[in-house]
Homo-oligomer: A and B are copies of this chain.
Amino acid sequence: MSDPVGARAGIVVTGTEVLTGRVADRNGPFLADRLLELGVELGHITLCGDRPADIEAQLRFLAGQGVDLIITSGGLGPTADDMTVETVARFCGRDLVLDAGLETTIGDIVTGLMARFPEVDREAVIAANRKQALVPAGAVILDPVGTAPGVIVPGTPTVVVLPGPPRELQPMWNAAIATDAVQAAIAGRTRYEQQTVRMFGLPESGLADTLRDAERSVAGFDRLEITTCLRRGELEIVTRYEPQDAAIYSELVAVLRDRHPREIFSEDGSLVDDQVAALLAGRRIATAESCTAGLLAARLTERSGSSAYVAGGVVAYANAAKTELLGVDAALIEQHGAVSEPVAESMAASALRRFGADTAVAITGVAGPSGGSEAKPVGTVCFAVALADGASVTRTTQLPGNRSDVRERSTTVAMHLLRRALGGER
C-alpha cells in the first residue's frame, strides 16, 4: 500500500496488576483499535509495573523506534507509587509545574467524594491533590473523568498520558485526539476505510482458498489489507483500504458472495446477536437448555430492551427436569438418549407451549469432559428451533474444544439457527 509519510505510534501500559496478569489489560486493545481506525500504524505495545526506571526505559525504546506518538495508561493516582507524569516530564526534559486551575478542579471533585468518607484525613488528601495538579511545563491538560487529569506533552514524539481505569481512559482519549497537539503528531496518517464481513459455517482453509483465487482474479487485490480471524466458530474478515480503492473492495466482496452465499451473514460488521435481536422484534422467544444451562438465555438478554421479546427459559440439566418441567416423554429419552434430535425437538416444542411463545430454541449436548460415547462423543450437540407456525429445524453438530468452548460455541450455533429460521432460510 502506498504510505508516503505515515504516522506511527507506540503504547506504554503501566501497572503491576496488569503486568502480572491479575487484571487483564483492556487499554492496549482499545487504543490499538482507535489507532487502526485513524490510520496510525501501531508498532509496539509495552507493559511494565509501576517502576519509573522501567517506564522510562520503555519510553526511550519507543522514541528510538521513531514513533510519532506515545500513549501511556496508568500511574496517575494520588499515591506515591503513581509516577507516570513525573517520569514522562523527565523523559521529555520538562519541569513539573503546579497548575492552579487544575488544583481547584481536582479539589472540587475530591471534596464531593469525601463527603461520603468523613473519617479521611483532609490534610493528606490536599497534599495528594497538589501532586495530581503538577504537570509538565507547556503540557496540554486533559480534564479528569475520575479524579486524575491526563496530559499531552507535544514534541518528537508527542506523549499522551492517560489514567488506567478504562472508563476514564476511553473518554479522555477522545478528548486527546481532538486536540491540535495530537492532530499535529499524527498528521502523516493515511486515511483508511475499514469494512468487516462475517461468515459462519466455513472452515478457515476454505476462506484461504477463496482469497488465493481472489488474489488472481481481482485487479488491485494487493491494495487491500485483509486480516482474517476465526473466533467462536465464526470467520471475521476485516479489510482496510484507501478511499480511492473502494471499487477493488467491492469486487472482493462480490467474489466472497459468489463463492459463499450461504456462509456470509454480515457485510456491515453487524453481529449475529444484532441480527437475531432485530428479527425477534415483535416476537416472543423461550429457550430450553441442557448442556448450555442458561448461557443462551443469558446471551439473548445481554442487551437492554430484550425483555420486549424474551419470555424466559428452562434449564433442564437433569433428565428428570426435562420430563417434569418440559414434559419431554421419558420414553423418548430412553429410546434416543437425552442428546438426540427428537429430544431437542420435544424440548423446543414444550418451551413454545409453556411460555406462550412463538419462537423457541432447544440445546442438548455432551459438553464433556466425561459423558461421551463412541456414538455421541464429547462435543456432540443437538439443536431444535420451533416456530408457532409449526416450522421447525433440527441440527446435530460436533463442536471442538473443552467443556467451556463447547458450551460457548453451542450458543453461537443456536444464534445462527435462529437467524436462519427467522430470516426465512431453512
Contacts and interface: CB of A to CB of B under 8 A. Distances in A.
Interface stretch (A101-109, A253-261, A286-294): A286-294
Contacts of A381: none
A48 B54 contact: no
A293 B312 CA distance: 7
B229 A17 contact: yes
A293 B304 contact: no
A321 B311 contact: yes
A244 to B, nearest CB: 24
A202 to B, nearest CB: 15
Interface stretch (A23-31, A126-134, A156-164, A181-189): A23-31
Q: Which of A289, A301, A302 has the most CB of B within 10 A?
A: A301
Nearest to A41: B49
A352 to B, nearest CB: 13
A329 interface: no
A314 interface: yes
A301 B312 contact: no
Q: Which of A19, A64, A298 has the most CB of B within 10 A?
A: A298
A297 B325 CA distance: 15
Interface in A322-340: 324-325
Contacts of A307: 317-318, 371
A373 interface: no
Nearest to A408: B298
Contacts of A17: 227, 229
Contact of A48 (B43, B296, B302, B313): B43
B314 A312 contact: yes
A65 B231 CA distance: 36
B30 A21 contact: yes
A368 B306 CA distance: 11
Contacts of A306: 317
Chain A, interface residues (CB within 8 Å), range? 35 or more
A289 B293 contact: no
Contacts of A321: 311-312, 355
Contact of A311 (B24, B36, B320): B320
Contacts of A354: 324-325
Contacts of A325: 312, 314, 354-355
B318 A311 contact: yes
A301 B19 CA distance: 31
A61 B43 CA distance: 14
A174 B64 CA distance: 35
A32 B21 contact: yes
Contacts of A250: none
Nearest to A368: B304
Interface in A43-72: 43-49, 54, 57-58, 61, 64-65
A216 interface: no
B47 A45 contact: yes
Contact of A46 (B16, B44, B64, B236): B44
29 contacts: A16-B227, A19-B44, A19-B45, A20-B29, A20-B33, A21-B30, A22-B236, A23-B231, A43-B54, A44-B54, A45-B46, A46-B46, A54-B65, A57-B61, A287-B315, A289-B294, A293-B298, A293-B301, A293-B310, A293-B313, A294-B295, A294-B298, A294-B313, A302-B404, A304-B370, A306-B317, A311-B317, A312-B315, A314-B325
